[in-house]
Amino acid sequence: MGNILKWFKKNDYVLIFSLLALLIYIVLFVSRSLDDNRLTSWHWAFTNTNAARIFFILMPGLISAYIFSRVKLIERYPAVFLFVSSYLIAALFWREPEVIMDASRYFTQAKHLEIYGIGYFFREWGRDIMAWTDMPLVPFLYGLIFKFFGETRLYIEIFTTFLFSMTVVLTYMIGKILWGEDTGLYGGMLLLGIPYLFVQVPLMLVDVPTMFFLTLAIFTFIMALKRGGLWILLSSLAVFLAFYSKYSAWMMLSVLGVVFVVYLLPQSRQLSAVSCQPQKPRTYVYRGSVTFLIAAVLIGIVFLYKDEVFLEQIRLLMAYQKPGLKRWGESFVSTFFFQIHPLITAAALYSAYAALRKKDLKYLIILWLVLLIVLFQIKRIRYIIMVFPMLSLMASYGLVQIEKKEAVKFISLCIVISSVVVGLFGYLPFMQKISAVNLKDAGRFLDSIEESNIEVFTLSPAEPVSNPSVSVPVLDYFTKKNILYNYENISYQPFEKIEKSSLRFTWEYKNPEYYSGDKYSKENAAVVVISDSTNDALPEGIGKDLAGYRLSGVFNIFEGVFRYRTGVRIYQPGRH
């Protein structure tokens, strides 16, 4: 008995934070109606979920957090641990469907490169290839994967998960450079304490890759200032890549100016956490200026080549996207307490006080991006994913103020395991109930039938919320069969009705010519009908075309939340 009491006295933090982690889950579940996230709201994800089951899964998870907190392997190989663990966790979410319709644009852009080549992609991007408000880098990389490895979702998931895990490692390296091993390690770990990130990693979008490229730009710029040489060229290239990954990254790249100014200050130069000798101010000025100059030249060459496209996109962003953020926004309560583990937010807030007390100017580097989010009231979580590595470092900075290292490690692991449990047993099951899963299941079914060519028809209800033809590329993404698409039964909406819609791009989207050519024969092709519901009556023309066909597959899962639905019916030529 005495030994048990002695253990509890020495490890009281284990009991305190275990109970706190369980209490946080209960509070979030009870108050889930406050979560107004547009995709993974707790109000939707946990309404028909066995919350008690997740609670009882969380309990042994916290026990495992204590066991792992005693393992010294984490500190011995931090980069390897962070990369492998983050990759394995993210891979568990590869089962989810493409739940955001924007994937149809990125798939279409990438497939143009696969079919017509790199030269065509650069010539026609923004013209024959619909660019909407997208930047070219990430679709270009997706296209290269399709061209050299194959048009398979698995390869995209491997790639995006790799970028995610590398972001975790880069977060660790930035924290290590600025403040030391512990801040970096826990900063990388805490990036796994954001369950919303897990459901974003497998998706064919640009948000996770942009997070990687921005974090890479920050890391390489710090290294360029400290070491010069090849790092200057690498940093310039990283800035160039971040610039062309997403428009919202432009504002976030202002953090490099903060890094530059901070390293010019004598107080910051004396607080270096790595072995490099502090440089004279003129050395930093030279290295920073050369880096910015090379990056500007690279950016300028591409911008001038496609200036008309970029300028038109910027006009659309200012007239449509910027005011739209107010209509499509989500509350900071949702983002920083439901989609991000609350202890990360609490530790980040405390870190500001700790840095102010220490007069630590280097803290401005990680504070800047979060400060921009608050000052400009950017209340859409998808647009601030790229800021999460710096937020994680803020939280780590706050946690390491606790003198007991074992406690910091245990708290970090509690946050990670709690978030993984919420993601795996709350978010993922909900993602698998969204009607977008019908396209994934239909694609898998199509790969199992003998017909190699698939003719697709899209139907829309009388009052559609979006153009159903955007579902065709997503279906194509999930099947290896040849897609033919020549028929649309769509009620196009007047511009006044769709002008402010968050799904406006779907009405301006046109499926590419490679679906409507004569490359594949319709004879003995299977037929797919995509509609709002599989109970919708077929138009007379389609009904005649299906004479002699049999209904062989129906996919009509509907989660009852989102207005946009995709039901799928599959018909095959009649055989005995």
User: Do 453 and 371 have their domain in common?
Assistant: no
247 pLDDT above the threshold of 60: yes
280 pLDDT above the threshold of 60: yes
What's the pLDDT score for residue 48? Answer: 83
> Is 110 within a domain?
no
Mean pLDDT of 273-283: 70
Domain range for residue 31? 12-100+152-431
Domain-ending residue, one of 410, 431, 452: 431
User: Do 475 and 412 have their domain in common?
Assistant: no
> Is 129 within a domain?
no
For 81-121, give the DSSP string.
Answer: HHHHHHHHHHHTTTTS---STTHHHHHHHHHHHHHH-HHHH
56 pLDDT above the threshold of 60: yes
Q: How confident is the model at residue 541 (pLDDT cuts 50, 70, 90)?
A: confident
What's the pLDDT score for residue 429? Answer: 95
313 pLDDT above the threshold of 50: yes
Mean pLDDT of 266-289: 72
Q: How confident is the model at residue 465 (pLDDT cuts 50, 70, 90)?
A: confident
What's the pLDDT score for residue 548? Answer: 87
User: Do 420 and 276 have their domain in common?
Assistant: yes
Mean pLDDT of 324-337: 88
User: Do 458 and 398 have their domain in common?
Assistant: no
Mean pLDDT of 406-413: 95
> Is 117 within a domain?
no
519 pLDDT above the threshold of 80: no
Mean pLDDT of 503-528: 83
User: Do 403 and 470 have their domain in common?
Assistant: no
Mean pLDDT of 561-570: 90
User: Do 443 and 426 have their domain in common?
Assistant: no
User: Do 564 and 464 have their domain in common?
Assistant: yes
What's the pLDDT score for residue 296? Answer: 98
Inter-residue contact 559 to 430 (CB < 8 Å):
yes
How confident is the model over 429-459, as pLDDT tens digits? 999 999 999 999 999 999 999 999 999 999 8
What's the pLDDT score for residue 576? Answer: 45
Alpha carbons 62 and 17: distance in angstroms, whole number: 9
CA distances 1 to 12, 278, 314, 564, Å, are: 16, 55, 70, 61
Q: How confident is the model at residue 490 (pLDDT cuts 50, 70, 90)?
A: low
267 pLDDT above the threshold of 80: no
How confident is the model over 135-154, as pLDDT tens digits? 999 999 999 999 999 999 99
What's the pLDDT score for residue 321? Answer: 83
420 pLDDT above the threshold of 70: yes
- 573 three-class SS: strand
DSSP state at residue 280 = P
User: Do 56 and 194 have their domain in common?
Assistant: yes
> Is 64 within a domain?
yes
41 pLDDT above the threshold of 80: yes
Q: Determine phi and psi for 131, rounding to 5 degrees.
A: -105, -20
Candidates 94, 247, 222, 232; CA nearest to 159 is 94
User: Do 384 and 532 have their domain in common?
Assistant: no
What's the pLDDT score for residue 491? Answer: 64
Q: If you average pLDDT over every residue of the chain, what do you get?
A: 91
- In percent, the amount of the chain with pLDDT more than 90 equals 75
Residues paired with 129 in a beta bridge: 125
> Is 114 within a domain?
no
Mean pLDDT of 275-284: 76
282 pLDDT above the threshold of 50: yes
Inter-residue contact 351 to 395 (CB < 8 Å):
yes
> Is 415 within a domain?
yes
Inter-residue contact 190 to 344 (CB < 8 Å):
yes
What's the pLDDT score for residue 301? Answer: 97
What's the pLDDT score for residue 535? Answer: 81
User: Do 356 and 400 have their domain in common?
Assistant: yes
190 pLDDT above the threshold of 90: yes
Please classify residue 314 by burial: count the beta carbons closer than 10 Å to its beta carbon, then call 0-12 exposed, 13-18 middle and 19+ buried.
middle
**Low-confidence winner among 163-177, 230-244, 252-266 (lowest mean pLDDT):** 252-266
Angle made by CA atoms 23, 24, 26, in degrees to the nearest 5 = 65
Domain-ending residue, one of 431, 448, 472: 431
> Is 326 within a domain?
yes
Mean pLDDT of 492-513: 78
User: Do 274 and 306 have their domain in common?
Assistant: yes
Inter-residue contact 4 to 45 (CB < 8 Å):
no
User: Do 251 and 157 have their domain in common?
Assistant: yes
Number of domains into which the chain is organized: 2
229 pLDDT above the threshold of 80: yes
Q: How confident is the model at residue 323 (pLDDT cuts 50, 70, 90)?
A: confident
Mean pLDDT of 236-249: 98
Mean pLDDT of 499-520: 81
Inter-residue contact 161 to 202 (CB < 8 Å):
yes
Domain-ending residue, one of 431, 458, 474: 431
What's the pLDDT score for residue 574? Answer: 80
